[in-house]
Amino acid sequence: MEHILNPLVKSVEISGIRRFYNMVADIEGTISLTIGQPDFPTPLHIKEAAKKAIDEDYTVYTHNAGYIELREAACDYVKQKYNLSYHAENEVIVTTGASEAIDIAFRTILLPGAEVILPGPVYPGYEPIIKMAGAVPVYADTTENGFKMTAQIIQPYITEATRCIVLPYPSNPTGVTLTSKELQDIADLIRDKDIIIIADEIYSELVYEQEHVSIAGFLREQTIVLNGLSKSHSMTGWRIGFLFAPANLCQHILKVHQYNVTCASSISQMAALEALTNGFDDALPMKSEYMKRRDYVYERLQGMDLQVVKPDGAFYFFVKLPEGYHSSLEFCLELVRKTKVACVPGDAFSVLGNGYFRISYAYSMDTLKEALDRIETFLK
């Protein structure tokens, strides 16, 4: 019966990150630098709050948008951290991870034929959702601009059909982020056009030398901000994300969310409440550890004469293939076969990522050191 299935769904492939991970999972003794999830446990007080929530019977459906206490805490959090103002009653939705927030935002905005501008290379979680809506992903080439999608880069890609621009900064897979001025210029370009910005700010707590700035501060009425606790509080498995949008957009997005999942897990929501209140700064010690690793990995990669942009945040390096290699997949397969170090081929992050490989440094210093020693020996 496969032939009667939706061709838009059939044309979508499983993520290149997972595909490569599965390919190398059976090679014994492999050090995998492939997965982008924090290697720290969820803070103890958050786990305790979840246990308490179960004991106290927080085990039933919540408001579709999430517990009001949690929505209030989420609004306070982004107000205090990023100076964003949203109403807890009607401008925030608690989602099943940022992934669901991506899905419901696109499904609310996109009609078949609509165009979505994304920076390339980019996180592979957007393209399939865009395609399944019958819309068209349009990649703006950022490779010659230090992976930054600035107003200048965006402008030539805007057409009558453009309905949405994705701004995923700090970026997975490149780690770069945009400055306040760069965001302001994009806001000026988009203002008064029929275009909505989806700002995926899931790595906002992991920006090293500068303050995280959200484009919603310049273009609130045309921006949907996505965030969540997966990266900031090391809570990938709890599946809690947040979507912030002006009330006139949020009321429609909420319908898609409601018919999709009803509400996010009640127990995870109680854990999230603890995370955003008593764990307001839980990301800080993790961030300082990531920063030490970033500096270490950067130094090592430079020592190997590999070309790389120093990341501003998140926990990834997007490294140019060494001389003589053209295919990311071929390089990563050879690397894993000869050294038992697995990195993600760059083309998992759109065609513009071909010619690169991604290293995640959400791994211990010992693991990173061993992996980099092996890569260095291989390159020699």
Ligand X SMILES: Cc1ncc(COP(=O)(O)O)c(C=O)c1O
Q: Is 202 in the site for ligand X (CB under 6 A)?
A: yes
List the one residue from 72, 125, 145, 329 that touches ligand X (CB under 6 A): 125
Q: How far is the CB of 283 from ligand X (least distance, A)?
A: 14
Rounded distance between C-alpha atoms, residue 159 and residue 115, angstroms: 8
Rounded distance between C-alpha atoms, residue 347 and residue 318, angstroms: 11
Q: Which stretch binds ligand X (CB under 6 A): 56-64, 69-77, 93-101, 204-212?
A: 93-101
What is the gyration radius of the CA atoms in the chain, in angstroms? 20
Q: Is 200 in the site for ligand X (CB under 6 A)?
A: yes
Residue recorded with tokens 């490569």: 20
Q: How many residues bind ligand X (CB under 6 A)?
A: 14
Q: Is 175 in the site for ligand X (CB under 6 A)?
A: no
**DSSP designation for 365:** H
**In the sheet where 344-345 sits, what is the strand order?**
316-320, 356-360, 344-345
**Site map for ligand X, 332-371, x if CB under 6 A?**
----------------------------------------
List the one residue from 16, 38, 97, 124 that touches ligand X (CB under 6 A): 97
Q: Which stretch binds ligand X (CB under 6 A): 7-15, 82-90, 94-102, 176-184?
A: 94-102
List the one residue from 16, 36, 120, 124 that touches ligand X (CB under 6 A): 36
Q: Is 322 in the site for ligand X (CB under 6 A)?
A: no
CB 163 within 8 A of CB 114: yes
Contacts of residue 90, Cβ cutoff 8 Å, sequence gap at least 6 = 247, 250, 251
Q: Is 123 in the site for ligand X (CB under 6 A)?
A: yes
Contacts of residue 294, Cβ cutoff 8 Å, sequence gap at least 6 = 175, 208, 310, 311, 315, 317, 361
Q: Is the peptide bond before 170 cis (omega within 30 degrees of 0)?
A: yes
Q: Which stretch binds ligand X (CB under 6 A): 104-112, 228-236, 320-328, 359-367?
A: 228-236
Q: Is 174 in the site for ligand X (CB under 6 A)?
A: no
Q: How far is the CB of 42 from ligand X (least distance, A)?
A: 13
CB 313 within 8 A of CB 294: no
Nearer to ligand X, 97 or 355 (CB): 97
DSSP line for 227-242: EESTTTTT-GGG--EE
List the one residue from 15, 30, 90, 99 that touches ligand X (CB under 6 A): 99
Rounded distance between C-alpha atoms, residue 145 and residue 147, angstroms: 5
Rounded distance between C-alpha atoms, residue 161 and residue 165, angstroms: 12
The dihedrals phi and psi of 108, each to the nearest 5 degrees, come to -75, -35
Q: Is 279 in the site for ligand X (CB under 6 A)?
A: no
List the one residue from 98, 206, 243, 245 that touches ligand X (CB under 6 A): 98
Binding-site ranges for ligand X (CB under 6 A): 36, 97-99, 123, 125, 168, 172, 200, 202, 228, 230, 236, 241
